[in-house]
Amino acid sequence: MEKSVMVVGLDDSDHSFYALEWTLQHFFSPSPENSPFKLVVVHAKPSALTAIGLAGPGSADVLPYVDLDLRKIAARVLEKAKEMCTAKSVNDAIFEVVDGDARNVLCEAVEKHHASVLVVGSHGYGALKRAVLGSVSDYCAHHAHCSVMIVKKPKIKH
C-alpha cells in the first residue's frame, strides 16, 4: 500500500522542532513502519538578501558571510531533525533544504511530493509582528493544496 506523504516545515525555532517532535510522537510511534505516512522534512533557506532586509551601501560585502551563516543554520536544522527521527526509529524520512521563502517553499513541497498533510509549527507572534511578517502557517493554511496542521506549543502556566 502506498503511504501518504506528510511534509513537516522546519526552521531553527523551538516551535518548529516541537512540531516535528509532536508529529513523530503522534503519527510515527510506537512503530513507524505501521504509520500510514511517509515523512518529508523541509527547511526553507532564505536568501542572504532577504535575511539582511533592505540592502544599503556596503551590504554586498556581508552577503557571502550571511549566506554562509544561513547554510550553517540549515545544516544544523537538518542534523537535529535527523537525530530526532532516528531516536524514534523513523529511518526512511526524506530531508530537504530548499532556497526561498518558507511560504512558497512549503506549498511547492506539498505539490512536488503530492503530500496529503502539511505540518507547521506556530510561532505565537503577537498581532503586530504577524501583521507585518505575515504568518507562514496562515499562508499555508490558505494556499497549500492539502490539509494543514498547525502544531502549537502549549503555553507554560505560571
pLDDT tens, residue by residue, 40-92: 999 999 888 877 766 666 777 888 888 999 999 999 999 999 999 999 999 99
- Asked if 152 and 42 touch (Cβ cutoff 8 Å), the reply is no
Q: Which three-class secondary structure state does DSSP give residue 1?
A: coil
Over range 23-49, report the average pLDDT: 94
Residue 124 predicted with pLDDT over 70: no
Angle at the Cα of 111 (from 15 to 81), degrees rounded to 5? Answer: 30
Over the chain, what is the mean pLDDT?
90
Q: Cell for 70?
A: 544561513
- Asked if 40 and 115 touch (Cβ cutoff 8 Å), the reply is yes
What is the tens place of the pLDDT at every residue in 127-145?
666 665 568 998 999 999 9
Q: Cell for 28?
A: 510515527
